[in-house]
Structure 1
Amino acid sequence: MTSKQAVAENEFTDLTAIADDLGLSRVDAPAVQRRWVNVITGGHVSGVSWGTGSAQAVLLHDARRSARAWDALALALDIPTLALDLPGHGRSNWRKDGVYTPRKLAPAVAEAIKSFAPSAKVIAGTGLGALTAIALNARHPDLVHGLVLIDTLPGTLPGRPAEGPTRFASREQALAWLRETSPWAPPEVTAADVRHETTQESDGSWTWRHHLGNLPAEDSDGLDDETLWDLLAAVAARGVPIVVVRPGTGSRLKEASLGELRRRVVTARVVTLAESTGVVESDQSLRLAELIHDVLSTFDRFQGRLA
């Protein structure tokens, strides 16, 4: 089975409202387009390209979300950016084996980055996307020049998702279920997730676009990978700037994981955004954009010393 590939003509009509909420004034609508690339691991990977020219940043979302989770951040960055749908999410194909571990996703993500953003200088990710960014270093270290890990380190992803229906009579029913099972998420985030991550079937019911929402809960464990600590340490050993961003409240990064970071990746910078309540990429997108620009500047200074 594959994900639904049809894209409504009005997919991006909500961007103006998002920009207004951020206080961003724009003369023209942002240049944004949906893209696809076939990958040798099977099927295709989809993504959203922002701006014109070669993408400088790549954004990788959490499990059960999609490239559209980054709309606010992409607008705030105001640079050429690529937001990818991880395999099994958004408009990317589902994996036949239903396995969505970071190391399994990395090859297809690497192909998409090479196709859409070969000159990208920084990868930012959260949750499953953050761990997939780390996993890229195993076989594609040439793609990892700067890392921004949002409230995620190896061994910190939540366990089995809440069991629930795979079909809903309406989007309102899906929204009610999502808000009940994710009380920590701001209402505007769950509303956007239902808007972007559900699709209507021929019988009028609604289902999740992402494969994980269509799998039995017992089949969707194992998204985390504590062995990625070794790869993260290898990234740091190459001199790659690493920034770990956590919200002021509701962070999944506890002292044990932060202590492991200090022990194994001594050069990593940890930034706490005190005003964030859990979904940094949405509620602190302007500040997060500043941090990503800092990493880009660090990369440029490093390249200047090598020149």
Structure 2
Amino acid sequence: MDVTTDNSEFSYLPAQAGTLSVPVPPVERLTLPLPDGRTVSALRYGTDAPRVTLLHGAGLNAHTWDTTVLALGQPTLAIDLAGHGDSSWRTDADYTPRTLAADVVAALEAWTDVPQLIVGQSLGGLTGAAVAAARPELVQELIIVDITPGIDVSAGPAALREFYAGPTDFATRAELVDRAMALGFGGTKAETERGVFLNTRVRDDGRVEWKHHFAHLAAHALAAHDAGTAAAPSLLHETGWDDLAGVVAPVTLVRAVRGFVQEADAEEFQRRLPEARVTAIDATHNVQETGPVELAALIRASLTAASGL
């Protein structure tokens, strides 16, 4: 296992912490070699063993949780799912939750020593359910953020599909920032610059490309569809009800009021899992970015309840 620190990727944390009036915790980049030659990467915040593990959604990376982690103030592990962030792409392009769960299990076995409160947003939520069903001894509790099985969030707004299905490489990050803002993404320019920096890399030829595999798959699928040779597939399509039925840990569904899970979806979730808790946060689909303080408070309350304090 290799532990490395790239100070540039943590350069945004002081400003984020300042906004919340909280200290910046120690943080490091972890890398775990896998038996098939790939690697899984993660961020570990704090010096004590993590009690919370965070799994991001499609097209994102571990840094999407930065503000939530700062607000939480607890030792935390945020994993880059396969094909995202600094984790390896899969040659078979299989990014379904049960496949992703295998890497998460390897990471938990390597980097945690107590059952985790797993918080998974979107694709990460379905992946968390697959982990909890397959390896219940690793999971203390599961919080699923703005996803239920059957909802295809990759369909998304037309502008989002255009954004990821456009060019897969760019001359500069500034070009990508301008494109994102022109299509209405990213909030302020500073927020957009942060998001683009943390989700892109510079290739050997000097061109800038997305770190996550999904953008490249989307572009290829759209080209095939336009050529009439294939339909553009969904990048996120998994039922997952069987996994949820097999989870023995407590389960909470967080519905983003301005997100993808509608009240009817939450009611269906409650009907299928009557013991689960369902709550709502006034945020968009990426609750960890648009409602981080509220989400952190929910996670903290779960940790306190689990500790019996």
CA shift, 1:86, in A, is: 0.5
The Cα offsets for residues 276-296 of structure 1, whole Å up to 9 and x where unpaired, read as 244321222122111112222
Give the Cα separation in 2 of the matches to 1:80 and 1:171: 32
Mapped contact 1:87–1:105 kept (Cα < 8 A):
yes
CA shift, 1:216, in A, is: 4.2
- Identity across matched positions, percent: 35
Give the Cα separation in 1 of the matches to 2:30 and 2:14: 21
Give the Cα separation in 1 of the matches to 2:178 and 2:279: 33
Q: Are 2:276 and 1:268 equivalent residues in the alignment?
A: yes
TM-score for the superposition, normalised by structure 2: 0.85
Give the Cα separation in 2 of the matches to 1:273 and 1:84: 23
The Cα offsets for residues 76-123 of structure 1, whole Å up to 9 and x where unpaired, read as 111110000001111111111111111111111110111112314300
Give the Cα separation in 2 of the matches to 1:202 and 1:15: 27
Mapped contact 1:58–1:117 kept (Cα < 8 A):
no
Larger strand percent: 2
Q: Are 2:238 and 1:225 equivalent residues in the alignment?
A: yes
Unmatched 5+ stretches in structure 1 = 1-5
Give the Cα separation in 2 of the matches to 1:189 and 1:255: 30
Report the more deviating stretch, 13-22 or 196-205.
196-205
Give the Cα separation in 2 of the matches to 1:111 and 1:78: 25
Structure 1 segment 160-199 matched on structure 2, within 5 A: 160=155, 161-162=161-162, 163-181=165-183, 183=184, 186-187=187-188, 189-199=191-201
Unmatched 5+ stretches in structure 2 = 156-160, 222-231
Give the Cα separation in 1 of the matches to 2:272 and 2:110: 33
Mapped contact 2:68–2:289 kept (Cα < 8 A):
yes
What amino acid sits opposite 1:156 in the alignment? I
Match of 1:106 among 101, 104, 109: 101
Give the Cα separation in 1 of the matches to 2:217 and 2:205: 20
Q: Classify the secondary structure of the residue corresponding to 2:129.
A: helix
Q: Is the alpha carbon distance of 1:144 and 1:120 closer, same or farther for their aligned partners in structure 2, counting shifts above 3 Å?
A: closer
Q: Is the alpha carbon distance of 1:225 and 1:180 closer, same or farther for their aligned partners in structure 2, counting shifts above 3 Å?
A: farther
Match of 2:294 among 267, 284, 287: 287
Aligned to 1:3: none
Q: Are 2:53 and 1:58 equivalent residues in the alignment?
A: yes
Aligned to 1:23: 21
Aligned to 2:217: 215
The Cα offsets for residues 166-187 of structure 1, whole Å up to 9 and x where unpaired, read as 0112212212333455x36534
Aligned to 1:254: 262
Q: Are 2:253 and 1:244 equivalent residues in the alignment?
A: yes
Q: Are 2:117 and 1:122 equivalent residues in the alignment?
A: yes
Q: Classify the secondary structure of the residue corresponding to 1:11.
A: helix
Give the Cα separation in 2 of the matches to 1:87 and 1:105: 6
The number of equivalent residue pairs is 288
Give the Cα separation in 2 of the matches to 1:152 and 1:190: 24
Q: Is the alpha carbon distance of 1:194 and 1:164 closer, same or farther for their aligned partners in structure 2, counting shifts above 3 Å?
A: same
Report the more deviating stretch, 288-297 or 61-70.
288-297
Report the more deviating stretch, 83-92 or 156-165.
156-165
Give the Cα separation in 1 of the matches to 2:182 and 2:129: 32
Q: Classify the secondary structure of the residue corresponding to 1:10.
A: helix
Q: Is the alpha carbon distance of 1:30 and 1:137 closer, same or farther for their aligned partners in structure 2, counting shifts above 3 Å?
A: closer
Q: Is the alpha carbon distance of 1:145 and 1:74 closer, same or farther for their aligned partners in structure 2, counting shifts above 3 Å?
A: same
TM-score for the superposition, normalised by structure 1: 0.86
CA shift, 1:230, in A, is: 2.1
